[in-house]
Amino acid sequence: MTTIREIMFASPIMPVIVLERIDDAVPLAEALVSGGIRVLEVTMRTPVALDCVRAIRAAVPDAIVGVGTITNIADLNAARAAGAAFGVSPGTTAELLVHAHGSGFPFLPGAMTPSDVMRTLDAGFTAMKLFPARQAGGIDMLKALGGPFPQVLFCPTGGIDGESAATYLALPNVACVGGSWLAPATLIDNQDWDEIRSRAHQAALLARHLNKHN
């Protein structure tokens, strides 16, 4: 997959993953992929994050593993060097947008306001992460943004759970949603891969792609 839009449409849910131990990376990825969720966002919130990406890349070829919480150019370069398939940011800077666009690396920049969306469009991006989605206005905000920005495709993330995900996915400008409920810290700490696999299976069944085109 060569574009961020293709990656977004590959799974209805993009799990936001925080890994504290490298040994958890592969069994977690295997559980998610076997449950039907292939696109994984490993956040750069821990010292082992990039090593976890490398481990998943080597052992779980069906996973499309990217790096989240990219906040600067150095983070983006490190994610690419680790073999990430894509990158995700919680927000943007002018420097990061220019570098990401010029690199050709599939990148999902974060936006929260109409001004954020306009600035990100100007930089050449038409796919964005709405973050934090619930705090930004959730469903109503996405509907409002769809009017002036019909060309923008979103991955809302933040405050979304298994009960609300389907409502977001029904919107025409939403390709996927991000969330941590598939692999929360408690399940990872307990190595409860069966429960994570079950949650992934339920998430993969969510209605999506109706009247949508990647």
**Is 214 within the bounds of a domain?**
no
Per-residue model confidence as pLDDT tens digits over 154-201: 999 999 999 999 999 999 999 999 999 999 999 999 999 999 999 999
Here the contacts of 133-141 (C-beta below 8 Å, separation 24 or greater) are 133/157, 133/158, 133/159, 133/160, 133/168, 133/177, 134/158, 134/159, 134/160, 135/159, 136/112, 138/168, 139/167, 139/168, 139/171
Tell me how many domains the chain contains. Answer: 1
95 is catalytic: no
**Is 212 within the bounds of a domain?**
no
pLDDT at 214: 47
Task: Choose, from 20, 30, 95, 129, the residue flagged as catalytic.
Answer: 129
Question: Does the bond joining 132 to the residue before it have cis omega, within 30 degrees of 0?
Answer: yes
**Is 209 within the bounds of a domain?**
no
143 is catalytic: no
**Is 45 within the bounds of a domain?**
yes
CATH number at residue 86: 3.20.20.70
**Is 213 within the bounds of a domain?**
no
Structural domain including 73 reads 4-204
Distance CA 156, CA 23 (A): 29
Task: Choose, from 20, 30, 41, 163, the residue flagged as catalytic.
Answer: 41
Residue 205 has, within 13 A of its CA and on its CB side, a CA count of 9
pLDDT at 165: 95
Beta strands 153-154; 177-179: pairing state: unpaired
Per-residue model confidence as pLDDT tens digits over 29-73: 999 999 999 999 999 999 999 999 999 999 999 999 999 999 999
pTM score, two decimals?
Answer: 0.95
